[in-house]
A and B are shown apart, each in its own frame.
Chain A
């Protein structure tokens, strides 16, 4: 059933923020219920991120990072999961954690360490032009973190 829903939602998607949120809802359902549907649901989210021309908000960027942190955690990559957790925290420090991310995990411990490094050392690089970095207009981005980079009026790039 989820396969059919994914196919339909992808086929009729119109590259709006609502479509992206719908794809994320589908991925959340797959993460909690249907392991086989995770991969196509992930691809659906990635397609929606790439195709929208609407500005992705900081809250939505944080949600995307939280979800991809769960995916990385499940594929046994705590380092990348932690990077997504830090990116989510920086995009929207008070955003809700993903219910599928366990509190006791290597990713959470790495998150604390990376968060400390990023805040204390402030490693950043300049961007050539004004860019929405995880929903925030900026001319800089934190080094070595995944980010959704979107120039005004353009399609985003999901750098991971």
Chain B
């Protein structure tokens, strides 16, 4: 296992609020339609719909309402994809009121998680530390699923002791952990 200090862990700057990429009426109308669709999925509790529409909207208009990044981040968080959660939260302009309680989630990802890269054969079994925090538990379960299904994993995991294909892997706060089987 290789660990590297992430000395600039908090050095990520986000973009300021910016105007839309196009003022074309059709473009703005499509942005509005996708925004409404995403919020409808949110009201209906359809997480996969939220994420699918968010991706379509991001491809159409990356300078969207910051609230939508937060909604999509929450959907990724519920699935346990901590890395995608962080990426989406980093798209929220600094100081945006849309961030709400997700600011604490972002801080938690930056402070209590490590950056993990795994190279293993498909079907590899992985275990992680017992976590009572549902977000942390979900992140571990997500990684276990990806490693089993795909072998390779790239993402954030809560600090703790893991076993990947019988090999120990220690994940430390704000550090990088690599394991190759």
> Nearest CB to that of A55 among chain B residues?
B2
Task: Fill in one digit per residue for A82-125: 1 if any B CB lies within 8 Å of its CB, else 0.
Answer: 00000001101111110000011000110011011101101010
B117 touches A138 (CB 8 A): yes
At the interface, is chain A mostly helix, strand, loop or mixed? mixed
Which listed residue (A58, A94, A137) contacts B11, Cβ 8 A?
A94
| Distance, CA A65 to CA B119, complexed state (A) | 23
CB distance from B77 to the nearest CB of A (A): 13
Binds A, one of B39-47, B57-65, B133-141: B57-65
Q: Is the CB of B178 within 8 A of A136?
A: yes
**Residue A39 interfacial (CB < 8 Å):** no
Interface size class of B (residues with CB under 8 A): 35 or more
Any chain A CB within 8 A of the CB of B161? no
> Are B2 and A137 neighbours in the complex by a CB distance under 8 Å?
yes
Number of interface residues of A (CB under 8 A): 32
Distance in angstroms from B171 CB to nearest chain A CB is: 14
Q: Cβ of A138 and Cβ of B119 under 8 Å apart? A: yes
* Contact, CB under 8 Å: B119 / A119: no
B117 touching A116, Cβ below 8 Å: no
Q: Are A58 and B4 in contact (CB under 8 A)?
A: yes
Chain A residues near B2 (CB-CB < 8 A): 136-137
Nearest residue, chain A, Cβ from B6? A94
**B29 is an interface residue with CB less than 8 A from chain A:** no
For the complex, is A18 an interface residue (Cβ under 8 Å from B)? no
Bound CA–CA A11/B103 (angstroms): 50
Q: Are A97 and B13 in contact (CB under 8 A)?
A: yes
Q: Are A138 and B62 in contact (CB under 8 A)?
A: no
Are B55's CB and A120's CB within 8 A?
yes
Q: Does B87 lie within 8 Å of A116, measured CB to CB? A: yes
Q: For the complex formed, measure the closest distance between the CB of A47 and the CB atoms of chain B, giving whole angstroms.
A: 26
B4 touches A59 (CB 8 A): yes
Instruction: Determine whether B150 belongs to the interface, using a CB cutoff of 8 Å to chain A.
Output: yes
Asked whether A122 and B150 contact (CB < 8 A) given A58-B176, A116-B58, A138-B117, the answer is yes
Q: From known contacts A94-B110, A95-B8, infer whether A140 and B152 are also in contact, taking CB-CB under 8 Å.
A: yes
23 interchain pairs (CB within 8 A)? A59-B4, A90-B154, A93-B12, A93-B115, A94-B6, A94-B10, A94-B174, A103-B13, A103-B15, A103-B18, A104-B18, A113-B59, A116-B58, A119-B83, A119-B87, A120-B84, A122-B150, A135-B4, A136-B117, A136-B176, A138-B119, A139-B180, A142-B154
Interface set of B (CB-CB < 8 Å, partner A): 2, 4, 6, 8-13, 15-16, 18, 21, 51, 55, 58-59, 62-63, 81, 83-84, 86-88, 91, 110, 115, 117, 119, 146, 150-152, 154, 174, 176, 178, 180
